[in-house]
Every structure is written in structure tokens, then in C-alpha cells.
Amino acid sequence: MKRHFQKKSLPLDKVRRYLEPGPIVLVSSALNGRHNIMTMGWHTVMEFSPSLIGCVIAGSNHSFDMVRRSGECVINVPTTALTDEVVGIGNTSGAEIDKFDRFGLTAEKAREVGAPLIRECYAHFECQLVDDSLVRKYNFFIWEVVQAQAAVSPKYPQTLHYTGDGVFMVSGKIISRRKQFLPDML
Amino acid sequence: MKRHFQKKSLPLDKVRRYLEPGPIVLVSSALNGRHNIMTMGWHTVMEFSPSLIGCVIAGSNHSFDMVRRSGECVINVPTTALTDEVVGIGNTSGAEIDKFDRFGLTAEKAREVGAPLIRECYAHFECQLVDDSLVRKYNFFIWEVVQAQAAVSPKYPQTLHYTGDGVFMVSGKIISRRKQFLPDML
């Protein structure tokens, strides 16, 4: 499977197409000239427009302070081509290693935020923190996506969906029921 | 595929196994002797213990008042065997029809909440509302799972993951990378 994708900008209200299915994502961040990556499975779409994403980033993650203090991150969607990297990133700490170096990933300049994109991923959502009212109680961050890109092909990527216990389910097979939907429900 | 499953109770900190992969779920609710079902794709795990789930239920849904006023719901996980029902439930309103009747689904008494289980689903998570502080601003509800059941087999169900536009991705194929995980990361 490809590790490099040709990408195009997306309208921000289309972000749900890539995140609502619930893939494991890689969150990249930067602060004071350092960058980091973490794996994340606890996230949800919250609104089409503005494009809002809620997610849990536990205080034990090295990324917690970086995203909270910078108020920015990039949510990157990896495919099964990056399974080893996803596992490795989730099992190491940015306090000890540079994860871009360790896992052979490319930090690419984002358009709207200081956090880097991970070039080898299928899609990138540049985010600004808009609500931290539930961070103290639940480690729950609410982000506005301010810039979005996704690969031109394949149309539906093979994504990883984490079940715990070291096991991922893979999405990729498609069922279209478009004809059964009311026009205003699409 | 089976539409009836033998089920067993789950420890509440295992709920993430079924919801973290991001499946479309069916939310059942009850109020004043009436019940309803809605499809939902915007949800996230928020904590292992207590077992917390956050989700968006828009005010335009007939279920909104039912879950808010009752403070209870059941999150049911359907498999691809219920694809037609998932689509139909998402394209109709409980203000006009009884969705259990219309879609041939069985309302089964839950153990801890007044909302019914949907028997034909693979797993059921009985929920009590624990935080409505973000309902007004984002329609975001935080639930504590107080009772959980899942089917004994198959071990990994084929679940539906919504991308919008009438199209679902299907999960079911498994990748195990258990051996690459640190013991305390499993």
C-alpha cells in the first residue's frame, strides 16, 4: 500500500467523512521548537460548521502539555500501511525520543498551525483549541478544524480501528445505501 | 449473518473494545411509556472507569428530549445484518412512527435503566446521564455505562462505520499486534 499520497484541500464540513468512521489517528503537535506524535482513539465529530472535533488526551501523554499550551495540533489519519508506526508511536514517549526520526516519518509544514503534518498519512486536519472547559475534569479537548486535506485516492482508505488488547479492526470494504437516504439526510 | 446473539455481561471497563472502533450505534430511549430509536455516529469513549461515553444528539432528533428528560438511554451496537434497519431508522422520525414496530426490532427490558435494549443488536450499553454541561452549547451528552452486555460470538463483529453520503465502511477484518505492545499499554 502507498505511503505517499497526492492530496487536495477539503471543504471543512467534509471532515466527518474521514473521522466519523472512528479510525485511530496520529496527533502531531509542536511547542518551543520541539514536536511530537501520539496515537489517539478517543475522538468524535461534534459539528459540521464550524468543523468541531472533541477528543480525550490523557495528562500522562507527553503531548498533553504541548497541545494545551500551544492550543494547536494536527489530526492525521494513517492507513494500514502505517500499522507498525501506529503501534510504535503508541508504545513510546516523546519525552524520550523524537518520534518522527524513530519511525521514519516526515514532518511537513502545516498551513494554519505551528504543529507539523505527518506526510505519510492519508489525511490531515489542522486544529485550533476552541474549548478547554472539560480538560480539567475529563481531559476532553474541543478543536476547530481550520484546514483540511485528504488523499485523492484511494477514495476509501483502509483505516485502523482500535479495540484494545493490541487488536485493530480494519475498515475499507464499502456498503453504499445512498439510494435509501432521503436527500436532506445525505 | 445472525440477527440473534447469545450474550454475556461485560466488565464495564471493557466497553471501549466495542465503541472505540467507532461503529454506528442505535440509541434507544423511553419516556412516559413511549420508546424510540435513533442512529448515532458522533460518539467517543471518555474514560475506562467509571465507564464514560460522550456523544452528540442534535436537538432536531425526536430522541433529544427523551434522553435529556429521562436521563437514560441504551447504546446498542448493530452489525451489518441490520444495515437496512440502521438506514431506515436514520431516515425516519420517532415523532411519526414506532421504530421498533416499523423495523421489526424487539424491545427488551434493560437491567438498570428504563430505556429498552434492542435485542437484535450485538452489544448493549445501559447509560445514565452524568454531565449535561455541554448540551446547551454542543448537544454533547456525557453518559456513564452502568450495565454492559455483548454477544459471545463472533469475537469481532462486522460493524458499520458511517462516512456520510449514504456510504458505510465495514470493519471486521482483524490485525493483531499484541506482541508489539508493552504489557502496561494493553
CA distance B37 to B101: 11
pLDDT of residue B117: 98
Q: What is the pLDDT of residue A180?
A: 85
Residue B92, helix vs strand vs coil:
coil
Is A125 a residue whose pLDDT tops 90?
yes
Cα separation of A97 and A92, whole Å? 8
C-alpha cell at A104: 521514519
What's the gap in Å between the CA of B160 and the closest CA on chain A?
8
Distance in Å, alpha carbon of B13 to nearest chain A alpha carbon: 11
- What confidence score (pLDDT) does residue B184 get? 76
Closest residue of chain A to B156, computed from CA coordinates: A169
What the block records as the C-alpha cell of A41 is 482513539
CB contact burial A50-75 (16+ within 10 A = b; e otherwise): ebbbbbbbeeebbbbebbbebbbbbb
Partner-chain contact A159 B169, CB within 8 Å: yes
B11, B129, B136, B139: which is closest to B73 by C-alpha?
B129
What mean pLDDT, rounded, does chain A reach?
95
The reply to whether residue A22 touches residue B55, judged by beta carbons under 8 angstroms, is no
Average pLDDT over residues A97-114: 97
Cβ of residue B102 closer than 8 Å to a chain A Cβ: no
Domains by residue range for chain A, with CATH: 7-185 (2.30.110.10)
Cβ contact B39:B183 at 8 Å: no
Enter the DSSP assignment of B148. Answer: E
pLDDT at A56 over 90: yes
Q: Residues of chain A with pLDDT > 70: what percent?
A: 98
Q: What is the mean pLDDT of residues B77-90?
A: 96
Q: Which helix (H) or strand (E) holds A99?
A: helix A99-102
Which ipTM was obtained for this model? 0.95
pLDDT, averaged across chain B? 95
pLDDT in tens, A33-43: 999 999 999 99
Give the mean pLDDT of A16-32.
Answer: 97
Query: Considering only CB atoms, which chain B residues are within 8 Å of A133?
Result: 133-134
Q: Exposed (0-12), middle (13-18) or buried (19+): which is B80, by Cβ within 10 Å?
A: middle
Put simply, whether A81 touches B (Cβ < 8 Å) is no
- On the question of pLDDT at B172 being above 90, the answer is no
The DSSP bridge partners found for residue B167 are A176
Interchain contact B70–A (C-beta under 8 A): no
Contacts of A171 in chain B (CB under 8 A): 161, 169-171
Bridge partners, residue A31, by sequence: A34
